[in-house]
Amino acid sequence: MARIELVGVAKRWGNTVAVEDMRTELEDREFVAILGPSGCGKSTTLFLLAGIYAPTEGEIRFDGVRVNEVEPKDRNVGIVFQSYALYPNMTVEQNIMFPLRFVSMEATEAQKQAREIAELVQIEKLLERRPGQLSGGQQQRVALARALIKKPNLLLLDEPLSNLDATLRLSMRSEIRRIQRELGVTTILVTHDQVEATTMADRIICMNDGRIEQIDTPENLYRRPNTTFVASFVGSPPINLVAGSIRESRFVAGERSFPLSGITETAEVWMGLRPELLAVADEGLPATVATIEPMGREILYGADSPLGFLRFLEAAPLPRFSFGDKVRLATVVENVLFFDGTDGGRIDGASLNEFS
């Protein structure tokens, strides 16, 4: 259990930049998710923390001590790989006890600990089997047990749920969280699935192109995204981004313009409208229904409007509209977000006065 710090960490291979200027701190016992699209450097960050890669620049600290030069085997870090990386030549019990081979410990004590951890992840009945004889979910639990048995300073989970089927993923999500709370181990989860990140983590590090875009609680990431990237990556269905400009205290997009306050200077901006905050009303922006996607509990519509194609969500089991229906869309104006048109950064203070 440890406090983890990344201070200006970078990893480059020649001219290829994998990770650049990572700065963050993890509190002891915290559960943090690294969220980002494929190739954003999240797995590289994981391997940097595990010690498999050495940083090109910057410092990694465990409990305030620089560990850049510490070998993976001495960092006391547990990893669960996406492929689980179980050792096929060993039984489940031998897999779980493998990390204890390298610390001096009596065989009986090691077996006792293995049994305890197996009970914690509920695989105590499978100890004699080989990895090939286990289902995906069971393999996952074995990998988790193996990563946890030496009471690691840091538990790293590399897309641990992506090979499981949907139902199992749901139950493993809460299961992992339960085990993490029980053991109080500092944990980093790497994922490209925002639902996984927001449901499991205390805080989320959102990454893009090797850089941190935002570090925040799941709620803030959703409500106050720092950049257009975060806004469109977090939230499902994705946010509607409308390109426009601000002129004389009005947001202008195409032939439409809306009064707004808080910003006066002329600027190119993006307006962000969450689909779930757009609703059909008596008054509002005229639009024509173009797509209908029933999602079970909700229905996702797409509509052509003067602002372009907009998605909106209705909580209803049956579609209320059909193709070509004319509707009017309204939103809670305080929740409309504005982002800088050039660097994508959020513009604070700007708020829409009217949406119609």
Partner 1 sequence: MTAAVQDWQSIARRSTRLRKINFVLLIGFLTIVSIPVLLPFFWVVVISFSARTGGVESAVLWKACSILVPAVFAYGGFHLAVKSVRRRLIAAGALIAASTAGLYLTVGDDLHLHNYRFLVNPNLVEELRGAATAGGQFPWVWVAFINSLVVAAISTLFKVTIATLSGYYLSRFAFRGRSSFLQGLLILEVFHPWMLTIPIFLVIFWIGLLNTLAGPILVLTVLDLPFFIFIMKGFFDAVPWDIEMSAMTDGATRRQAFRYVVLPQVRAGIIAISVLGFIKGWEEYVFVTALRTGNSYWVMSTYLYYVADDVMGVDYGLVAAVSVFYMAPSLLLYLFLQRHLTQLTFGGIKG
Q: Which of residues 66-85 bind partner 1 (CB under 8 A)?
A: 71-79, 81-83, 85
Show Cβ contacts of residue 276 under 8 Å, excluding neighbours closer than 6 positions.
Answer: 312, 313
Sheet holding 351-352, edge to edge: 337-340, 267-273, 240-247, 250-253, 256-261, 351-352
- Pick one of 15, 38, 89, 342: the residue that binds partner 1 (CB under 8 A): 89
- Contact with partner 1 (CB under 8 A): which of 27, 54, 66, 87? 87
Give min distance, CB of 182 to partner 1, in A. 21
**By CB under 8 A, what part of segment 34-53 binds partner 1?**
47, 50-52
Q: Is 356 in the site for partner 1 (CB under 8 A)?
A: no
The answer to the question of residue 13 lying near partner 1 (CB under 8 A) is no
Told to check if 98 binds partner 1 by CB under 8 A, we report yes
Minimum gap (Å) between residue 273 Cβ and partner 1: 42
Shortest gap between Cβ of 50 and partner 1 (angstroms)? 5
The CA distance from 215 to 280, in Å, is: 34
Q: Which of residues 284-343 bind partner 1 (CB under 8 A)?
A: none
In the complex, least distance from residue 154 CB atom to partner 1, rounded to whole angstroms: 10
Give the Cα separation of 194 and 144 in Å (integer). 21
Instruction: Quote the tokens at residue 315.
Output: 């909580």
CA 308 distance to own-chain centroid: 29
Residue closer to partner 1 by CB (options 99, 235) is 99
Nearest to 1 by CA among 192, 234, 186, 142: 186
Residue 324 falls in which region: left (phi positive, over 0), alpha (psi -120 to 50) or beta: left
Question: Nearer Cβ to partner 1, position 78 or 244?
Answer: 78
What tokens does 23 get?
């700065």
Instruction: Tell the smallest beta-carbon distance from residue 97 to partner 1 (Å).
Output: 10
Q: Does residue 237 have a cis peptide bond before it, meaning omega lies within 30 degrees of 0?
A: yes
Q: Which residues bind partner 1 (CB under 8 A)?
A: 47, 50-52, 71-79, 81-83, 85-89, 98-99, 101-103, 146, 150
